[in-house]
């Protein structure tokens, strides 16, 4: 029997549809960018090849997106740089999610002293703004991609740890977990089947958001000259490299800037950070 929907239900349906649309657009954009970045080596010229007759070539003349101050193909460098940015961001996010979830589950399961210790560790790490800690670590160890990755993992894990712990704590007090313990299941089994299953959806959303933010941070560090060493391309570093030529050929700055923002934007579309209420 067809039932008449109330206004509230209709609004909920609208919101859901709107969110689904956002997610689809986000996924589409992300797949396009990943496709471009992955197929880069086959569809673009060598990103390190300097062609001095083509210095500052306009887009569409000799190269698809023009050439930079050394006559290198911008399209090729975008693909190569994007592969670096996305690959390093992925490493960072996977690393911090693994560490965060592991420590969060440990804290919630063992409680007491273990919990206190881990939460104090979270407090300590959160006492630094992200890029500052990354600068401190990357800077004093002499920079390089490894230093940047480690630094960003180090600033990334507390968020996942806190959420994992909070969800795990509320799950552990449920009757089905207690009955699982009484039934004699091993801790590993309960953690995996009962608790991790509750944690996973939330963490997936957070990690998608975190990925967008990591791309921002990595490119900001690249822009500051910490991370990959030139001539290795990276989106943020490409912007910094082309900065002196901003007046004459703004394209060189605008192309990586636009791609970078679009990438981050599409990840935010998927995870939709602003539709949720900010944590108080």
Partner 1 sequence: MEQIVRSICRHLFQGICVALIVATLGFVAVNLTRGDTALDVAIARYSEDLTDAAVVEQIRREEGLDRPLAMQYFQWVARVITFDLGRSLVSREQVTGLLAHHFYYTFLLAATATTVSILIALPWGILCGVYPGGIVDTVSSMICSALVSVPQFVIGLLLILSLSIKLHWLPVAGFFSPAHLVIPAITLGIGLAAVSSRVIATSLADVRGALFYRFGAMKGLSPFKVLTAHGMRNAAIPVITYIGVQAAHLLDGVVVVETLFAWPGIGKLLLDSVLARDIPVIQGACLLIGLLYVTVNITVDMICFALDPCRRNYQTTS
Residues at the interface with partner 1 (CB under 8 A): 11, 120, 123-124, 126-132, 135-142, 212, 216, 219-220, 223-226, 236, 239, 243, 246-247, 250, 253, 257, 260-261, 264-265, 267-269, 272-275, 277-280
Nearer to partner 1 (CB atom), residue 179 or residue 244 = 244
CA distance linking residue 203 with residue 27, whole number of Å: 18
| Block residue for tokens 């600033």 | 155
Shortest distance, CB of residue 85 to partner 1, whole angstroms? 12
CA distance linking residue 130 with residue 186, whole number of Å: 38
Shortest distance, CB of residue 112 to partner 1, whole angstroms? 18
Nearer to partner 1 (CB atom), residue 93 or residue 191 = 93
Q: Which pair of structure tokens corresponds to residue 100?
A: 């965060």
Nearer to partner 1 (CB atom), residue 91 or residue 163 = 163
Shortest distance, CB of residue 49 to partner 1, whole angstroms? 27
Shortest distance, CB of residue 132 to partner 1, whole angstroms? 5
Buried/exposed 169-181: b ≥16 CB within 10 Å, e otherwise: bebbeeeebeebe
- Cα torsion through 65, 68, 74, 78, rounded to 10: -140
Cβ count within 10 A of residue 39: 11
Nearer to partner 1 (CB atom), residue 70 or residue 133 = 133
């Amino acid at each position: 029997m067809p039932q008449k929907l109330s206004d509230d239900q209709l609004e909920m349906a609208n919101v859901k549809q709107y969110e689904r649309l956002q997610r689809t657009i986000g996924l589409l954009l992300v797949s396009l960018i990943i496709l471009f970045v992955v197929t880069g080596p086959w569809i673009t010229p060598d990103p390190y090849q300097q062609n001095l007759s083509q210095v500052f070539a306009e887009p569409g003349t000799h190269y698809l997106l023009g050439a930079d101050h050394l006559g290198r193909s911008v399209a090729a460098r975008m693909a190569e740089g994007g592969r670096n940015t996305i690959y390093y961001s992925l490493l960072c996010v996977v690393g911090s999610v693994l560490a965060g979830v592991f420590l969060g589950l440990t804290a919630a399961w063992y409680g007491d002293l273990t919990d206190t210790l881990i939460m104090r560790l979270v407090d300590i790490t959160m006492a630094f703004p992200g890029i500052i800690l990354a600068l401190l670590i990357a800077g004093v160890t002499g920079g390089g991609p490894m230093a940047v990755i480690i630094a960003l993992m180090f600033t990334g894990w507390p968020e996942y740890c806190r959420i994992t712990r909070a969800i795990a704590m509320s799950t552990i007090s449920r009757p089905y977990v207690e009955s699982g313990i009484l039934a004699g299941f091993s801790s590993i089994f309960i953690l995996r089947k009962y608790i991790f299953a509750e944690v996973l959806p939330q963490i997936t959303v957070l990690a998608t958001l975190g990925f967008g933010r990591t791309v921002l941070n990595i490119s900001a560090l690249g822009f500051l000259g910490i991370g990959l060493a030139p001539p290795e391309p990276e989106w943020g570093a490409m912007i910094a490299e082309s900065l002196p030529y901003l007046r004459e050929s703004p394209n060189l700055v605008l192309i990586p800037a636009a791609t970078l923002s679009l990438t981050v934007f599409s990840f935010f579309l998927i995870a939709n950070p602003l539709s949720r209420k900010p944590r108080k």
